[in-house]
């Protein structure tokens, strides 16, 4: 597909040397986009988390049904830890829902689940018990712990290496800032993995790990990669093959590669648009027409790939999009880019088709008048498509929710 689009514009790109540095820059960008180099240049190497090999610190907390629980009570079998509070209006219900799914999927496996409240002043044992009963938590396998706030906060920060803090300007339901990761601890009390509860791939890998179908280190390596990286898990055979994804299917590699493909198509459309602008300013109408037609074709292919990706993601995971999970400080900037992009995308499509139609009919006055507005809108949509991709898939992931 990329080779086909490049073949359309190759005869004109080879003439860009006439335009000096601009031609060289465009040629380099074309080669980068064609080779898939843009994401690899922008993406950092995966950073794998490190935890204390001696294991988590000892603690003593109260379980919601009245017993005291220490670290020694959890030794001897692996366990999963989550951090929630009962009044949470943010991601806590999702975290607890994922824990409930794991409880139901591992009934025949020696595995314990532990939910630590990060709001122990309000989450008394009685409150936690009511919360646990509503979830349908098995009292023998899923414990809800409360106790001294410094003990809980110290455990989360120092042993699990996760974020937890009181909100500076607390609003009802958002009194605590905390991690939405589900932590995997082995039978010796050592943390061996973390899994974002919002990420369907992470949850599928966690299920594989606790079922003994994947090594924790391999799961952590995959979790540290961008979401669109092709999976490297060994294919399974038999009745359980592919059953670890929501809906009973593993996401195929071609689906996971589509975001990168879409970004490359947006980058290629940008190159065509800028090239077309350069050509028309030089009075080369023939090359201008070839560039703009190439941009239109590239954008059409992008639209097909974009729709395919979101329909496929919905089919395989139940979610039609990948949420922003980068640094919270950059989320306002992300939204400022995303919202105009979404609003202008259909506008750009209609204007581009109308502008090309006037050119086809040789209505040059209408074509030129409309092109003055079409070009900047179309260019904005193409450029921000690449920026949004980088922000969603290549920024360092934040595990904080609230």
| C-alpha 58: how far from chain center | 34
What is the rounded distance in angstroms from the CA atom of residue 209 to the CA atom of residue 215?
Answer: 6
pLDDT above 50: residue 284: yes
pLDDT of residue 138: 92
pLDDT above 60: residue 19: no
pLDDT of residue 240: 38
How high does pLDDT run on average in the chain? 81
Give this prediction's pTM.
0.51
Residues 210 and 217 sit within 8 Å (Cβ to Cβ) = no
pLDDT of residue 46: 54
Is the model more confident about 318 or about 358?
358
Mean pLDDT of 151-172: 89
pLDDT above 90: residue 275: yes
Residues 80 and 111 sit within 8 Å (Cβ to Cβ) = yes
pLDDT of residue 7: 42
- Which of 40-44, 129-133, 223-227, 276-280 has the weakest average pLDDT? 40-44
Q: Pull the structure tokens for residue 280.
A: 């028309």
| Confidence band, pLDDT 50/70/90 cuts, at residue 3 | very low
Give Cα separations from 181 to 159, 164, 281, 400 (angstroms). Answer: 14, 12, 53, 8
Among the listed residues 134, 126, 74, the one whose alpha carbon sits nearest the alpha carbon of residue 100 = 134
pLDDT of residue 377: 96
pLDDT of residue 260: 92
Strands 60-63 and 68-70: antiparallel
What is the DSSP code string of 368-379? HHHHHHHHHHHH
pLDDT of residue 173: 80
Burial zone of 225 (CB within 10 Å; 0-12 exposed, 13-18 middle, 19+ buried):
middle
pLDDT digits (tens, 9 = 90+) for 23-53: 434 444 444 444 444 444 444 445 566 788 8
Is the model more confident about 60 or about 325?
60
Query: Within 13 Å, how many C-alpha atoms sit on residue 205's CB side?
Result: 28
pLDDT of residue 80: 95
| Confidence band, pLDDT 50/70/90 cuts, at residue 396 | low
pLDDT above 70: residue 356: yes
pLDDT of residue 319: 65
Mean pLDDT of 362-390: 95
3-state secondary structure of 139: coil
Helices within 248-330 (DSSP H only):
253-256, 258-281, 285-317
pLDDT of residue 48: 63
pLDDT of residue 36: 43
| Confidence band, pLDDT 50/70/90 cuts, at residue 234 | very low
Is the model more confident about 103 or about 241?
103
| Confidence band, pLDDT 50/70/90 cuts, at residue 185 | very high
- Which of 119-123, 130-134, 239-243, 306-310 has the weakest average pLDDT? 239-243
Is the model more confident about 25 or about 362?
362
pLDDT of residue 252: 76
pLDDT above 90: residue 152: yes
> Of all residues in the chain, what percent carry a pLDDT higher than 90?
54
pLDDT digits (tens, 9 = 90+) for 205-226: 999 999 888 898 888 888 887 6
What is the rounded distance in angstroms from the CA atom of residue 197 to the CA atom of residue 177?
Answer: 15
What is the rounded distance in angstroms from the CA atom of residue 7 to the CA atom of residue 13?
Answer: 10
């Amino acid at each position: 597909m990329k080779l086909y689009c490049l073949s359309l514009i190759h005869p004109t790109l080879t003439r860009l040397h006439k335009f000096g540095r601009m031609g060289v820059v465009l040629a380099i960008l074309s080669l980068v986009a064609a080779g898939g180099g843009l994401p690899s240049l922008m993406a950092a190497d995966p950073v794998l988390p490190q935890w204390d090999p001696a294991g988590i610190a000892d603690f003593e907390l109260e379980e919601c049904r009245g017993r005291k629980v220490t670290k020694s009570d959890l030794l001897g079998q692996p366990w999963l830890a989550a951090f929630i509070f009962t009044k949470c209006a943010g991601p806590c219900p999702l975290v607890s829902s994922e824990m409930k799914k794991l409880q139901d999927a591992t009934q025949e496996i020696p595995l314990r689940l532990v939910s630590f409240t990060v709001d122990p002043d309000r989450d008394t044992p009685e409150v936690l018990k009511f919360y646990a009963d509503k979830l349908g938590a098995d009292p023998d396998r899923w414990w809800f712990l409360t106790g001294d706030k410094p003990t809980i906060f110290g455990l989360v920060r120092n042993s699990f290496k996760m974020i937890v803090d009181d909100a500076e300007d607390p609003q009802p339901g958002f009194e605590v800032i905390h991690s939405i990761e589900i932590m995997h601890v082995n039978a010796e009390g050592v943390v061996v993995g973390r899994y974002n509860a919002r990420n369907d791939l992470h949850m599928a890998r966690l299920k594989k790990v606790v079922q003994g179908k994947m090594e924790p280190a391999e799961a952590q390596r995959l979790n540290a990669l961008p979401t669109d990286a092709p999976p490297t898990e060994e294919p399974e055979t038999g009745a359980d093959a592919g059953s670890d994804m929501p809906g009973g299917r593993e996401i195929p590699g071609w689906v996971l590669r589509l975001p990168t493909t879409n970004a490359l198509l947006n980058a290629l459309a940008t190159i065509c648009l800028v090239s077309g602008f350069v050509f028309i300013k030089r009075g080369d109408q023939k090359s201008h027409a070839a560039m703009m037609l190439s941009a239109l074709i590239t954008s059409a292919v992008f639209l097909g790939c974009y729709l395919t990706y979101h329909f496929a993601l919905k089919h395989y995971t139940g979610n039609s999009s990948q949420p922003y999970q980068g640094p919270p400080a950059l989320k306002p900037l992300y939204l400022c880019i995303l919202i105009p992009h979404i609003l202008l995308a259909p506008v750009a499509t209609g204007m581009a088709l109308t502008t090309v139609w006037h050119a086809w009919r040789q209505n040059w006055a209408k074509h030129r008048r409309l092109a003055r507005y079409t070009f900047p809108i179309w260019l904005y949509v193409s450029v921000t498509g690449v920026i949004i991709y980088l922000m969603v898939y290549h920024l360092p992931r934040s595990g904080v929710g609230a």
